[in-house]
Amino acid sequence: MLTKYRRLSLLVIGAIVIAVDQFTKSWVRQHIPLYASWNPLPWLRPIVTLTHVRNTGAAFGFLPQFGSVFIIIALMVVLLIFVFYRQLARGSWVLHLALGLQLGGATGNLIDRLVRGYVTDFIDFHVWPVFNVADSSIVVGTALLAYYSLFLDREDEGEHQAPVEAEEPPGSYE
């Protein structure tokens, strides 16, 4: 029963990320003119603003001339997550969260690229390229996957291995 819920978690987490991502991008496109910035709290302006930009490149605007390549990469990432997820259904909740965030983020930006030909970015910390909810989900999902791989993967392997029976010490025959 738990495995069924864990399998669904990928889709639920991914769907939540896609919904939040698409809602926020739509709100920005409707309320903030292209290349304009807005902040409802003036005291936050030095830290973060909402700045409406279009991104044809990879995350954070890198390699803008390869937009169509990123469509192919995003499709491959989504496909690979689905293919390998079936094998990982018993893994840690951290693994499920990481893959769900990556799935939702990749799909959210893929939707923009397919529908608009660019990705809407709007979170602007002024010391980092402008990004969006999907980009954040991909980065957080990748960090969680690295954490899982480095620190939790071995614990999960131990949970799924059959116990090894101890051999009789030499000379203790019945």
Task: Report residue 46 as tokens.
Answer: 């030095």
On whether the CB atoms of residues 140 and 97 are closer than 8 A, the answer is no
Would you call 1 helix, strand, or coil by DSSP? coil
Is 135 catalytic? The answer is yes
Q: Which among 89, 87, 84, 88 is positioned nearest to 5, based on CA atoms?
A: 89
Q: Which of 21, 112, 124, 135 is catalytic?
A: 135
Residue 94 and residue 147 in contact, taking contact as beta carbons nearer than 8 Å? yes
112, 121, 124, 156: the catalytic one is 121
63 three-state secondary structure? coil
49-55, strands of its sheet edge to edge:
37-38, 49-55, 119-124
Residues catalogued as catalytic: 121, 135
